[in-house]
Amino acid sequence: MTKKTPELNRRGFIKATAAGALVTGAPTIFTSKAYGYANDPGSASSVTLGFNVPQSGPYADEGADELRAYELAVEHLNGGGDGGMLNTFSSKALSGAGILGKEVKYVTGDTQTKSDAARASARSMIEKDGAVMITGGSSSGVAVAVQALCQEVGIIFMAGLTHSNDTTGKDRKANGFRHFFNSYMSGAALAPVLGNAYGKDRKAYHLTADYNWGYTTEEAVTQATEAMGWETVNTVKTPLKETDFSSYIAPVLQSDADVLVLNHYGGNMVNSLTNAVQFGLRDKMVNGKQFEIVVPLYSRLMAKGAGANVKGIYGSTNWHWSLTDEGSKAFVKSFGEKYGFPPSQAAHTCYVQTLLYADACERAGSFDPCAVVEALEGFEFDGMGNGKTLYRAEDHQCFKDVLVVKGKENPDNEFDLLEVVEVTPVDQVMYEPNHPQMGGAEATLGSCNAG
Amino acid sequence: MLGLKFSDFALFMLVVLCVALAPILLNPFPASSELAQFNAGYPDLLQRFVIFGVFAVGFNILFGLTGYLSFGHAAFLGIGSYAAIWMMKLLTMNVIPAIILSVIVAGVFSLLVGYISLRRSGIYFSILTLAFAEMSYALAYSVLTPITGGETGLQPKLSDPRILDAELSAGESPAANLFGIGMRDSYIVNFGDWVFTFNAGYYIAGLFLLVAFYLSIRIFRSPFGTMLRAVKSNQNRMSYTGLNTKPYTLAAFVISGMYAGLAGGLLVAMDSQVGPERMFWTASGEVVLMTILGGAGTLIGPVLGAGAIKYMENILSKINETVLKGWFEFLPDAASEWVVLFLNMFTGKSWHLTLGLIFMLVVIFLPGGLVEGGQRIARLFGIGKKRNQTVESDSAASK
């Protein structure tokens, strides 16, 4: 008997609701497909961007720096601050009055550097907050997963820090764009510099982080160095969660290799490099040559972690705050004034991506993903810190000069850890869209999806 | 009714009603209000509620009834997911074959793992299952990269064979569907300032939750369920009476493995991608938390626990510093700074701290989980006494 009363109440409640619905007029019902495109801001006074960055987990430092850059970009887009790169950007479509006259707002999510969590937070930003664009991330696995999601639901994805070939290679998507460079470019830029510095008859030993990014980097570096005359003695995969690499370094001493390539990133690289230096690898002479270590992908945050061990070690990077072109100077200045220290390469690429998206919307005159794709494809620009840059239409990858850097021998301060050795011109790192490392002939963008 | 006694039937009907009305019940705040932050009625989260509900209900059949604490259940969820995505890539984007295969594959794998792990009990059993899960994770992450896609995982691609599906027209991308109903298709109802989204995928997943929940009630009330409870209360006594308990525990293990596989298949059906971190040990730990938080050994507890954890993961974690600042703008500067600083320790990226605190409070003060909390409140108001007795006799039997 006690059970019956609430049930009657519930039924009564539903009846009342239904009656109320009739009284207030028939509710407007439509399916998601009835929109012109997904999350059309329509006549709203603001537009929402979704910043999906790792706020916890191994890449939380990069994520925090990315978020700072995004906040700065939104400030500049809305006309705040000193305008940063808006003043140096070759396209003058943006005026500091938001995007297409709408104020830019943003929501943030935590990718946790897991593709499931990243997709869940991206979906919540799209479904709940109505984000028109998703950007960010600090891992290629996450970038590929979120890019695929954005393709399915018809939202633009502007990749953050992702260096694996696959993002714009075999997993490229029409709705996804990458400004950051990739493994192939690292290999192509590093090989000639290494050849000049260490000679063309070296024997290399690779330690590779056992996941997708490690594989493509190893492939890119071995192919580029072998083409130059180096020999690859051995390639060993190391678990991503490894923190002590001594058991992997010891066999290097037994082999007759005279170069160690560490295809590691973040904390992995800090630990493996420290172990290698502790084992005295850099003081060794093998085959009558000085033993050398190479780190294909460098970042300032990693150099900071490894401390004095990075001195004299070669690597490549997408951007460095010590560059002296107008764009970089403007960005470093406004970032430094706001946060008190120079930005990382992750911050740079995220800032630029946001501006590029806003500019594309402005030029296209719409937030429609297909119009934005059209505006970005084949877009050439300058003044964003990397010199003249092309967003290639075939794979949505940016082509620009690549920096080869070296750990500084005598750093002046805690941020001045890397010095630019060479700026490899873009022609040298160019490749065909259907290059075998990029998924070959099978890889296609598909066509843009507007939701 | 439906072979259930009245109290169970009423509970089942309550669950049916909640699943049916969740898009409305969980969106209580108007879209333009500040409180809309707490709305949970959007498709992705609703789907997660019911899918992890299935996962936890299945886990509860093993843990709640037999007391065997498996620390590797995420492996079955992951394997179910991989099976489902391969079905979608090779056969058809229709979710039915994918879900069926995910259940079968997870069942076979759990038979293998269960057969080996159940040779031990207690902590050794937990460690064995954990070892299997970690092994599966490592295999998926690196060794089996050609099959699992490694860190990147798998997604449907334009170039997949999909032998049963018709050729896609230009510009179309493969989307999971049920005989043409897309999992992402939604009816959006604007009712004044409220926005309610009725998503096709959610209702399909919800249907599976109802079936899973019904089966779980039947298992709880069956002689088989009584047998499992007997295993929990005293396995030695069972053995001394000459009864071999292994077939019972193994059956429970396989059933809960199949539930996990179903959850994995549903995850892929709703959002077609798989990554190996789905099998990581933290994912296995999560389902243990869900079950204990909600109330192990109770029928509805695991569903509540799953909902609570997913709500915190998706809603609490999005309340960042900027949002908090917006809320406390009315306070004087210094005060608002302190309040924001303090609350920021519990929201945004630190939501795990809140989860930990709530979990501790529940375990210390409500050993029976949220269900016990609900019962206490009901008792406080003097209602549902009759039901209390039946539930109590249930939990007494399960102790």
Instruction: Domain B43-297: give its CATH architecture.
Output: Orthogonal Bundle (1.10)
Query: Which residues 172-191 on chain B approach chain A with CB closer than 8 angstroms?
Result: 173, 175, 184-191
Residue B187 bridge partners (DSSP): A31, B198
**How far apart are the C-alpha atoms of A165 and A235, rounded to whole Å?**
19
Of A317, A345, A376, the last residue of a domain is A317
Query: Same structural domain for residues A113 and A171?
Result: yes
Pick from A33, A127, A151: which is nearest to B173 by CB?
Answer: A151
Query: Same structural domain for residues A176 and A189?
Result: no
Query: Which residues in chain B are closer than 8 Å to A211, comparing Cβ atoms?
Result: 141-142, 150-151
Q: Where are the domains of chain B?
A: 43-297
- Considering the domain boundaries, does residue A407 fall inside one? no
Do B271 and B43 touch, CB atoms closer than 8 A? no
Of A265, A287, A317, the last residue of a domain is A317
**How far apart are the C-alpha atoms of A171 and A150, rounded to whole Å?**
13
Closest by CA position to A156, among listed A174, A137, A130: A174
- The SS3 assignment for B114 reads helix
Contact A123/B187, CB-based, under 8 Å? Answer: no
Q: Check which CATH number belongs to the domain holding A295 and give it.
A: 3.40.50.2300
Query: Same structural domain for residues A53 and A167?
Result: yes
Which amino acid is it at B38? F
> What's the token pair of residue B389?
């007795």
What angle (nearest 5°) sits at the alpha carbon of residue A204, between those of residues A200 and A209?
140
Contact B187/A239, CB-based, under 8 Å? Answer: no
Count interface pairs A-B at CB distance under 8 A: 139
Query: Same structural domain for residues A127 and A239?
Result: no
Pick from B17, B273, B317: which is nearest to A119 by CB?
Answer: B273
Do A245 and A276 touch, CB atoms closer than 8 A? yes
Band (pLDDT 50/70/90 cuts) for residue B384 is: low
DSSP for B324-392, written as a single string: HHHHTTTS-HHHHHHHHHHHTTTSGGGHHHHHHHHHHHHHHH-TTHHHHHHHHHHHHTT--HHHHHHHH
> What's the token pair of residue B24?
């409305």
Crossing angle between the packed helical segments B200-221 and B246-270, to the nearest 10 degrees: 170
- The SS3 assignment for A269 reads helix
**Residue B369 scores a pLDDT above 50:** yes
- The SS3 assignment for A343 reads coil
> CB within 8 A of A51, min separation 6: which ones?
A66, A67, A70, A106, A107, A108, A109, A135, A136
pLDDT of residue A16: 55
Contact A210/B10, CB-based, under 8 Å? Answer: no
> What's the token pair of residue A359?
């500019």
> CA of A28: which chain B residue's CA is closest?
B190
Contact B48/A120, CB-based, under 8 Å? Answer: yes
Do B182 and B174 touch, CB atoms closer than 8 A? no
Query: Same structural domain for residues A109 and A132?
Result: yes
- Please state, in angstroms and as integers, the Cα–Cα distance from residue A266 to each residue in A450, B45, B169, B229, following that order: 36, 32, 43, 49
**How far apart are the C-alpha atoms of A68 and A65, rounded to whole Å?**
5
- Please state, in angstroms and as integers, the Cα–Cα distance from residue A86 to each residue in A90, A140, A344, A382, following that order: 9, 28, 19, 11
What is the bridge-based pairing of β-strands A402-407 and A314-317?
antiparallel
Query: Same structural domain for residues A130 and A142?
Result: yes
> What's the token pair of residue B136?
């599966």
- Average pLDDT of adjacent 10-residue blocks, chain A of 451 residues: 46 54 45 63 89 85 91 93 91 90 91 87 90 90 91 92 91 93 94 92 92 90 94 90 89 90 89 91 88 90 86 92 92 94 93 95 93 94 92 93 91 85 92 90 85 77
Of A317, A352, A383, the last residue of a domain is A317
Query: Same structural domain for residues A191 and A116?
Result: no
**Residue B144 scores a pLDDT above 70:** yes
What angle (nearest 5°) sits at the alpha carbon of residue A120, between those of residues A114 and A122?
100
pLDDT of residue B346: 84
**How far apart are the C-alpha atoms of B290 and B373, rounded to whole Å?**
15
pLDDT of residue B398: 41
Nearest-Å Rg of the Cα atoms of chain B is: 22
> CB within 8 A of B142, min separation 6: which ones?
A210, A211, A237, A239, B150
Looking at the complex, report in whole angstroms how far the Cα of residue B25 sits from the nearest Cα belonging to chain A.
12
Q: What's the gap between Cα B368 and its chain centre?
A: 19
Query: Which residues in chain A are closer than 8 Å to B278, comparing Cβ atoms?
Result: 116
Looking at the complex, report in whole angstroms how far the Cα of residue B52 sits from the nearest Cα belonging to chain A.
13
**Element (H or E) spanning A262, and its range?**
strand A259-263
Contact A10/B278, CB-based, under 8 Å? Answer: no
* ipTM exceeding 0.90, yes/no: no
The domain tally of chain A equals: 2
Q: What's the gap between Cα A103 and its chain centre?
A: 25
pLDDT of residue A17: 54
Query: Which residues 12-51 on chain B approach chain A with CB closer than 8 angstroms?
Result: 17, 39, 42-45, 48
> What's the token pair of residue A331?
């960005």
A17 vs B51, residue with greater confidence: B51
Query: Which residues 204-243 on chain B approach chain A with CB closer than 8 angstroms?
Result: none
**Residue B383 scores a pLDDT above 80:** no
Query: Same structural domain for residues A341 and A367?
Result: yes
> CB within 8 A of A173, min separation 6: which ones?
A147, A148, A150, A151, A157, A396, A445, A446
What are the DSSP E strand ranges found in chain B?
177-178, 181-182, 186-191, 194-199
Query: Same structural domain for residues A218 and A312?
Result: yes
For chain A, report the end-to-end CA distance as a whole number of angstroms. Answer: 51
> CA of A11: which chain B residue's CA is closest?
B17
Identify the burial level of A336 via C-beta atoms within 10 angstroms of its C-beta, where 0-12 means exposed, 13-18 middle and 19 or more buried. middle
Each residue's pLDDT tens digit, B189-245: 888 888 888 999 999 999 999 999 999 999 999 999 999 999 999 988 988 999 999
Query: Same structural domain for residues A65 and A135?
Result: yes
Domain hosting residue A330, numbered range: 46-181+321-395
- Considering the domain boundaries, does residue A138 fall inside one? yes
> What's the token pair of residue B250?
């193994």
How many residues would you count in chain A? Answer: 451
**Element (H or E) spanning A194, and its range?**
helix A183-198
Query: Same structural domain for residues A248 and A371?
Result: no
Determine which of B27, B93, B151 to mutate to test the interface with A (most A C-beta atoms within 10 Å).
B151
**Residue B301 scores a pLDDT above 80:** yes
**How far apart are the C-alpha atoms of B348 and B315, rounded to whole Å?**
9
pLDDT of residue A14: 55
Pick from A21, A116, A444: which is nearest to B158 by CB?
Answer: A444
pLDDT of residue A39: 85
> CB within 8 A of A447, min separation 6: which ones?
A174, B170, B171
- Please state, in angstroms and as integers, the Cα–Cα distance from residue A16 to each residue in A21, A356, B188, following that order: 9, 51, 21
> What's the token pair of residue A209?
């982080």
- The SS3 assignment for A134 reads strand
Each residue's pLDDT tens digit, B97-135: 999 999 999 999 999 999 999 999 889 999 999 999 999
- The SS3 assignment for A51 reads strand
Q: What is the pTM of this model?
A: 0.87
Closest by CA position to A400, among listed A381, A416, A414: A381
Residue A295 bridge partners (DSSP): A315
**How far apart are the C-alpha atoms of A2 and B384, rounded to whole Å?**
7
Query: Same structural domain for residues A60 and A115?
Result: yes
Query: Which residues in chain B are closer than 8 Å to A153, comparing Cβ atoms?
Result: 184
Identify the burial level of A19 via C-beta atoms within 10 angstroms of its C-beta, where 0-12 means exposed, 13-18 middle and 19 or more buried. exposed
